[in-house]
Each structure stands twice: as C-alpha cells, then as structure tokens.
Amino acid sequence: MPLFDQLYNFAHWLTQDRTEAEDLVQEAYMKALKGFASFQLGTNFRAWMYRILRNTFLTSRTGLKAAAMVPLDADDAPELPSGAETPETLLIDHSQHQLLQSAIEALPVHFREVLLLCEVEEMSYQEIAETLTIPIGTVMSRLSRARKALREILKQQIAVS
C-alpha cells in the first residue's frame, strides 16, 4: 500500500500507541478508498492521504484539545552497531534525547504537527500546507514559532537540570 510506513509513523507520533496508530491508518485508507472519486488527478496524493489521516485523528479525539504524545524513539527501531561509545556518552545522549522528547511533547498540537511533518516526514512547505489545509504562510509562521517555542522549552529544561 502506498505511503503505509510513513502514514503509520505519523499516526504513531500523534497517538503514541501502536494499536491506535494501526487503527488510525486503516481507517484513513478506508476513507481514502471510499472517497477516491474526490481525489483530483494532478494534485498531491501524499498530502491528500496525510490530510485524511490527520482529520481522522482529530475527529477521533475531542477536537484540538487532544494532547497527543510524540515519542522520539521506537521500540522496534533497528539498533546501530556500537562504535567508540562509552557508558558516559550513552547516558549523555539518552538524557539529551529525553529532554528533546519532553520538549516536543510540551508543544501545542498545531506546532507539533507542522514540526513533525517538516523535520521527520521531510515534507515541503507546499505539501504541509496541502496536508493541513492552511496557507503556506501559516506553515512557515507555525514552523518558526514551533522552533522558537522548542528552543525556549529546552532552555528552561536545561536551566532546571
């Protein structure tokens, strides 16, 4: 199925639950198949599918108030071969990873989704705009504000630790 891995990854980031992410992707595919006649040839299929997935996620929640968790590590991610790592460097890397994950989780969902689509899914601004059905200027603005908010959260977390 086209885009399955990418859609599942995004769904997992939104839901932070494997089973719920699988259900969300399955429901998005069912909606896409039912509404395929509404897809306009020549438009961005990837953005269309992500929009269906996102809308399905939002309607499965209590509106935009849903605070989806965004894990940065996957339990089934392949392990990289160890190099010159020491227990100390592993501890530092892990603590930095945890700081970043908690900072991303603290972002409002409208900032988090733009940041994830841009940085993780590597979508262009145009694709993000089509996916979220917002103007491209809003994408750039939200992305800028999300990055700024992420920096501020990280500064606060580092100052506390």
The tally of domains found in the chain comes to 2
Is 77 a domain residue?
A: no
Domain hosting 10: range is 1-69
User: What's the Cα-to-Cα distance from 93 to each of 14, 65, 96, rounded to whole Å?
Assistant: 24, 32, 5
pLDDT tens for the chain, residues 1 to 161: 678 888 998 888 888 888 988 999 999 999 988 988 888 888 888 888 998 998 888 887 654 444 444 444 545 545 554 455 666 665 566 567 778 888 888 889 899 999 989 988 889 999 999 999 999 999 999 999 999 999 999 888 888 76
Element (H, E) at 59: helix 45-60
Q: What is the pLDDT of residue 68?
A: 43
Structure tokens at 26: 């399955």
Let me know if residue 81 belongs to a domain: no
- How confident is the model at residue 84, as a pLDDT? 58
Q: Check which CATH number belongs to the domain holding 14 and give it.
A: 1.10.1740.10
Whether residues 110 and 55 fall in one domain: no
Among the three residues 44, 69, 94, which one is the final residue of a domain in this structure?
Answer: 69
* pLDDT value, residue 137: 95
Residue 110 falls within a domain, yes or no? yes
146 and 92 within one domain: yes
Question: 80 in a domain, yes or no?
Answer: no
Total-model pTM: 0.57
CA atoms within 13 A on the CB side of 33: 8
Note the pLDDT of residue 103.
86
| Block residue for tokens 């890397």 | 93
Domain check: are 5 and 64 in the same one?
Answer: yes
d(CA 132, CA 14) in angstroms, rounded, equals 14
Is residue 8 included in any domain, yes or no? yes
Q: Check if the beta carbon of residue 49 is closer than 8 Å to that of residue 32.
A: yes
Give every CB contact of residue 72 below 8 A, 6+ residues apart in sequence.
97, 100, 101, 104
CATH at 144:
1.10.10.10
> For position 93, what pLDDT does the model report?
61
